[in-house]
Amino acid sequence: MRIGKQDQAFTAIATSDADSITVRGYDLCNDLIGKIDFTDYFWLLVVGEKPTAAQRKMMDACLVAIAEHGLVPSVQAARMTLAAGPDAWQGAMAAGLLGMGSVVAGSSEIAGQYLAEVLADAEKNGTDVETAAIASLKELKAQRRKVPGLGHPQHNAGDPRADRLLEIADELGISGRYISTLRTLAEHAPGIIERPLPINVSGAIPAAILDAGWPLEAIKAVPLLARTAGLAAHLYEESLRSIGFIMSHKADLAIGYDGAPSSHPKSKA
């Protein structure tokens, strides 16, 4: 049984025959291998055309900015998985990627969607972006919700990664309506929400790559690709000097039990 309408049995990404492999209209061996950087290839695969020099530099900067972020939950999950199954790199890598949800790594996607919503609201209501941004911030405050792309628990004075990415976007001439919207939100948010809310890296990344021409629907691919590189480093280190079970033991020590007591007499002694 088919689910939904499926009458377009085509792909525009790749094909092959006995003599060649074609990717996005390019011969893989003659046109791409050894002649294109991986960031260019990533852009080509997803978007369907090679990036400009400015687009490549912006994407490179975003990938570098978040490839490594220390022993965050997704990294711990990956390392503990590899400690339990040293032969299963693919399982450990999957464990790390599966841990990238709305709080870790997926926050860039949410911020990008939020910026698009503010812009859409401005267009729909026939107002300027500043008016739409202020209205949205007031609504978020009333709902006691966080502002996507703003605020950081450690960098209250400003996320240095975000500052650098936006600086690069300005230097490359990429900054457009998404970065402008993000900066407008950051300008008004502290006064409306009544606490420091600097632009964070999860806000800067979607703003920069959307202005560069990256599709909104593919934003999550960027942090996923970046963190895959970081996970590879952690898994390699884990294979050389394992800390997976150390982390597991520390968790046992840090988390207390507050459930029902055992009914066994010996347990009460």
**Using CA atoms, how far apart are residues 137 and 188, in angstroms rounded to an integer?**
8
Task: Supply the pLDDT for residue 154.
Answer: 65
Q: Is the pLDDT of residue 269 over 50?
A: no
Task: Supply the pLDDT for residue 1.
Answer: 54
How many helices and strands in the chain, by DSSP H and E? 11, 3
Q: Is the pLDDT of residue 53 over 70?
A: yes
- Work out the mean pLDDT of the chain and round it to a whole number: 93
**Using CA atoms, how far apart are residues 116 and 178, in angstroms rounded to an integer?**
8
Q: Buried b / exposed e across 68-87, counting CB within 10 Å, b at 16+? A: ebeebebbbbbbbbbbeeee
Task: Supply the pLDDT for residue 69.
Answer: 86
- 8 A C-beta contact, residue 23 and residue 48: no
Place of tokens 């959307």: 210
**In the chain, what are the domain boundaries?**
11-50, 52-242
DSSP secondary structure letters along 119-155? HHHHHHHT--HHHHHHHHHHHHHHTT---TTB--SS-
Among 15, 66, 117, which Cα is nearest to 231's? 66
> What percent of the chain is predicted at pLDDT more than 70?
95
Q: Selecting from 1.10.230.10, 3.30.930.10, 3.40.50.300, 1.10.3720.10, what CATH number does the domain 52-242 have?
A: 1.10.230.10
164-206: pLDDT as tens digits = 999 999 999 999 999 999 999 999 999 999 999 999 999 999 9
**Using CA atoms, how far apart are residues 267 and 269, in angstroms rounded to an integer?**
6
Task: Supply the pLDDT for residue 189.
Answer: 97
3-state secondary structure of 4: coil
**Using CA atoms, how far apart are residues 86 and 92, in angstroms rounded to an integer?**
9
Q: Is the pLDDT of residue 268 over 60?
A: no
64-123: pLDDT as tens digits = 999 998 998 999 999 999 999 999 999 999 999 998 877 776 789 999 999 999 999 999
> For the chain, how big is the Rg over CA atoms in Å?
23
* Residues 56, 65, 235: CA angle, nearest 5 degrees: 110
> Which tokens in the block code for residue 53?
């020099």
263 or 22: which carries more pLDDT confidence? Answer: 22
- 8 A C-beta contact, residue 227 and residue 105: yes
Task: Supply the pLDDT for residue 264.
Answer: 80
Task: Supply the pLDDT for residue 156.
Answer: 67
Task: Supply the pLDDT for residue 2.
Answer: 64
- 8 A C-beta contact, residue 66 and residue 226: yes
